[in-house]
């Protein structure tokens, strides 16, 4: 959607979410920013306000379905939502290379999958009723192929990627746009704990600008940087049995 005036962003207290908030902040814009860290969320809000935007913040856990429904409905009542970006997510890995703890797997899915559903499912009917609006679902390059260092994270991002791709044509019948966002490594608190090389690591503000431009063009898939995108697409083509040995030697992500 070109020039959205009312934007709701989850996970806006740091990293890519904060960068998106700052990217969209401008006179005439209304931002609804959600996150779990109240102090950091307010800091982002101050920056966005200084850039001329009207900002509303909500300390919210995306896994809490009822709270999310109330927040999104309330925000839409203030200014009808043009753009909702389901960005909130967490990452975890296998640590020493062993199986992920069951509680960790369920927590990753609760935030990365249920959190997206708790954002998209209340927002989309509001847009379809008006016959306009846009949803941006933040997946990841990790959603193209399961990597042994972070299987739950990869699986959760694959789930929302395919969900968004399937949702796009049906949403369009009622005037709503859906884009799936698949970044590579973006500098943030999430990636700061990684103790392995991160090729093509991007600054959060550069990633946010790429996302903004992609959403303006209503791109079905906003994937970047292109060398990593090409690599993960190639990995999808190669039979798993051919690269199992290589996958097993990849570094693991800390739990």
Q: What residues are labeled active site?
A: 153
- Contact assessment for residue 86 and residue 10, using Cβ atoms and an 8 Å cutoff: yes
Task: Give the 3-state secondary structure of residue 86.
Answer: strand
- For residue 199 the two structure tokens come to 């090729």
C-alpha 2/C-alpha 16 separation (Å) is 20
SS3 content of the chain, % helix, strand, coil (to 5): 50, 15, 35
Residue 190 backbone phi and psi in degrees, to 5: -65, -45
Does residue 225 have a cis bond before it (omega within 30 degrees)?
yes
d(CA 131, CA 133): 7
Of 197, 15, 161, 22, whose CA–CA distance to 90 is shortest?
Answer: 15
Q: Alpha-carbon torsion 187, 87, 34, 54, what sign?
A: positive
Q: How far are the Cα atoms of 89, 119, 129, 132, 236 from residue 125, in angstroms, in the given order? A: 23, 11, 6, 10, 34
Dihedral of the alpha carbons of 213, 215, 218, 223, in degrees to the nearest 10: 80
Residue the block writes with tokens 């009312």: 6
Residues 6+ apart with CB under 8 A from 173: none
């Amino acid at each position: 959607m070109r020039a959205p005036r009312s934007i709701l962003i989850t996970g806006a207290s740091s990293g890519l979410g904060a960068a998106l908030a700052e990217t969209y902040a401008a006179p005439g814009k209304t931002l609804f920013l959600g996150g779990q860290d109240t102090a950091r969320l307010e800091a982002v809000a101050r920056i966005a306000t200084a850039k001329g935007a009207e900002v509303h913040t909500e300390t919210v856990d995306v896994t809490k379905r009822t709270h999310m429904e109330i927040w999104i409905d309330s925000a839409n009542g203030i200014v009808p939502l043009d753009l909702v970006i389901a960005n909130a997510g967490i990452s975890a890995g296998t640590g020493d290379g062993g199986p992920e703890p069951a509680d960790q797997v369920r927590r990753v899915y609760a935030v990365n999958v249920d959190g997206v559903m708790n954002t998209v499912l209340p927002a989309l009917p509001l847009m379809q009723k008006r016959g306009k609006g846009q949803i941006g679902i933040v997946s990841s390059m990790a959603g193209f192929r399961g990597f042994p260092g972070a299987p739950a994270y990869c699986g959760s991002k694959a789930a929302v990627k395919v969900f968004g791709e399937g949702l796009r044509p049906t949403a369009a019948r009622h005037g709503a746009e859906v884009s799936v966002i698949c970044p590579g490594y973006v500098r943030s608190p999430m990636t700061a704990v990684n103790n392995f090389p991160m090729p093509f690591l991007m600054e959060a503000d550069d990633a946010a600008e790429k996302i903004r431009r992609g959403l303006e063009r209503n791109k079905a898939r906003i994937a970047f940087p292109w060398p990593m995108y090409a690599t993960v697409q190639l990995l999808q083509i190669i039979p798993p049995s051919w690269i199992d040995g290589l996958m097993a030697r990849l570094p693991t992500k800390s739990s």
